[in-house]
A = this chain, B = another copy of it.
Amino acid sequence: MGIQLYELVGAESERRFSPFCWRAHFSLLHKQLPFETIPWRFSEKEMLAFSGQGKVPVLVDGDRVVVDSWAIAEYLEEQYPQQPSLFGGLGGKALARFVTDWVETSLHPLIFCCVATDIYNHLAPSDRDYFRQTREAFLGMTLEAACGDRENRVLQLRERLAPLRQTLQYQPYLSGEQPAWADWVVFSAFQWSRAISPFPLLATNDPVFAWREQLLKAFDGAAQRSLAYAA
């Protein structure tokens, strides 16, 4: 049995929108490993019981079960060292952790406040109450309130991208001459948004937009061909 990846989807089983699942998805493509994706929804907790927890992504490779996008990348890098590297060595791996933490602390909260209601509207009806309740409890406000100010949030987000914008003056990708994990982890945040929302996060004259365009074309246009908005 080949590699299987459990991925979060919306009402449509092709609408993959979790940034964490996209990281694992791109890691497998980067490693040039064939894999099967299994659509999963929030209400299907029992489907993941074998993994000992209730979140995706979950990777199954033979008798190995790996959960968490970072752990999946670590596993693939160790298990398939002959395939293209996700980290480019130990120095690269340590700093890839920092890029991941930058995405999670600086970008994700703002992106969530741009797309939360769009996520809700694309979920299967069986997932909607769970999503609203858990996210509103975390935010301390309604999804609608969180998204109410997205015209300003997106401007803050563009400011937060300043370090990436500056790096792209020195090299074509965060990871250097070719994209690797650090690029995929940032790109997955954009893929999360465009999979679920028509709201554009980037101005078309932003160097980050041009970088994103290149990554949309990678792997024979895997991200471009996925069910998403043109945003």
Q: Is the CB of B95 within 8 A of A98?
A: yes
Q: How far is the CB of A57 from chain B (nearest CB, A)?
A: 18
For residue A105, CB closer than 8 A to chain B, the reply is yes
Contact with B along A76-105 (1 / 0, CB 8 A): 000000000101111111111111011011
A167 to B164, CA, bound (A): 18
Please report whether the interface of chain A is mostly helix, strand, loop or mixed according to DSSP. Answer: helix
For residue A171, CB closer than 8 A to chain B, the reply is yes
Q: Chain B residue with minimal CB distance to A173?
A: B94
A175 to B165, CA, bound (A): 22
Q: Is the CB of B163 within 8 A of A94?
A: no
Q: Is the CB of B99 within 8 A of A88?
A: no
Contacts of A32 on B, CB cut-off 8 Å? none
Q: Chain B residue with minimal CB distance to A177?
A: B94
- For the complex with contacts A92-B92, A101-B170, 15 further pairs of A-B residues with Cβ separation under 8 Å are A88-B89, A88-B91, A88-B92, A89-B90, A89-B92, A90-B92, A91-B93, A94-B174, A95-B96, A95-B182, A98-B163, A98-B182, A101-B166, A105-B166, A106-B163
